[in-house]
Chains A and B, each alone.
Chain A
């Protein structure tokens, strides 16, 4: 299809959809309205279970099943990326040359790294109390590790980051979330039921029953997953090279 025809179809479809959506927008309840029945219920239940951060309560207690699905999406995407970016028969690894890093950059990175890593862990640990939690902290911690690439070089990063272990960590923390869920079924109540542990004292680290445990599992999972993702892309960008032939290698077929 030529570009012109595509643009025609696109503008016809886009215009139609835009008109429908804009009309719909004017029939939505006004921005900032007061009607949030589900939200109000969620806040009540969260306080009843002594979870100060109601978003964490929705994520890890009331709608923990969604989070299970989401964690699995992340896990699958990481597994998929590992499979898709594997080293194929026609590729080899080229060892990257050791790189010279300017001293200020090195100092900056090496100072920032522990701070960022601790920030990540802190954000994970306080997920049920303050904004943040497993997702945010996990990504921060994983990205922090990669400051080493800036500060030292790729080889130092590889040394501190054995990807295989992170893959296993990713899988084990995902299973930990599932096992915590299954504990409910084994105890005779429902899957992911947060009724086994005491809810603790409001606004302390151990409040919220199973919420901190699930949150920690997610934090581990996200951190490991982000490390593996970045590692696979770095691998492609820095190390893996095609041997010999260039161009359309896959098309030759038989």
Chain B
């Protein structure tokens, strides 16, 4: 159990890379990129977890009464989630333009930019 979350993060990251490399559709490729990013959230939150602790929100618990998990990684993960969504949006906008200009979204059929 003590390494399972980390291994899951590594698995998700590499799976996303595999999907990205073998994708036959650019929209699918962008989806795979979001899978890669999901790995970073899992790793972040897993690193900040503490056994038996509660969420770092003191609106219903007395300060210093119980241990809390690391709030810093949660703040970083929040940032990361928003960054991920915006990058996805921008890349999808580019995919739409590719579909208009090249008439395809299959990376195997994009024949420009070689050599």
A–B direct touch, CB within 8 Å, in complex?
yes
A: contact size bracket: 35 or more
Binding stretch for chain B, among A77-85, A96-104, A149-157, A165-173: A77-85
* Interface residues of B, dominant DSSP: helix
Flag B1-32 by CB within 8 Å of A: 1 or 0 each.
Answer: 11111110010011001100110000000000
Is B21's CB under 8 angstroms from A39's CB? no
A193 to B38, alpha carbons, bound, how many Å?
32
A30 to B50, alpha carbons, bound, how many Å?
10
Distance in Å: Cβ of B78 to nearest Cβ of chain A? 6
A171 to B100, alpha carbons, bound, how many Å?
29
Is B100's CB under 8 angstroms from A32's CB? no
A181 to B96, alpha carbons, bound, how many Å?
37
Is A84's CB under 8 angstroms from B94's CB? yes
Flag B41-59 by CB within 8 Å of A: 1 or 0 each.
Answer: 0000011111100011111
Q: Taking CB as reference atom, which chain B residue is nearest A66?
A: B79
Within 8 A of B (CB), among A216-254: 222, 229, 232-233, 236, 242, 246-251
Is A32's CB under 8 angstroms from B51's CB? yes
Is B78's CB under 8 angstroms from A55's CB? yes
Q: Are A25 and B71 CB-contacts (below 8 A) given A222-B82, A248-B101? A: no
A80 to B89, alpha carbons, bound, how many Å?
10
A residues near B97, Cβ cutoff 8 Å: 84-85
Is A31's CB under 8 angstroms from B92's CB? no
Is B10's CB under 8 angstroms from A58's CB? no
Is A36's CB under 8 angstroms from B87's CB? no
B residues near A249, Cβ cutoff 8 Å: 100-101
Within 8 A of B (CB), among A40-79: 42-43, 46-47, 52-55, 57-59, 63, 66-67, 70, 73-74, 76-78
B residues near A38, Cβ cutoff 8 Å: 70, 72
Is A25's CB under 8 angstroms from B89's CB? no
Task: Point out the residue from B50, B79, B93 that lies within 8 Å of A33, measured CB to CB.
Answer: B50
Q: Taking CB as reference atom, which chain B residue is nearest A126?
A: B59
**24 A-B pairs whose Cβ atoms sit less than 8 Å apart in the complex:** A10-B17, A18-B14, A22-B10, A25-B3, A28-B3, A30-B3, A32-B50, A32-B51, A39-B70, A39-B73, A43-B56, A55-B57, A59-B78, A73-B86, A74-B82, A77-B86, A78-B89, A80-B93, A203-B58, A232-B93, A233-B93, A236-B96, A248-B101, A248-B103
Per CB-CB distance, the 5 closest pairs between chain A and chain B, nearest first, are A39-B70, A77-B86, A32-B51, A30-B2, A58-B75
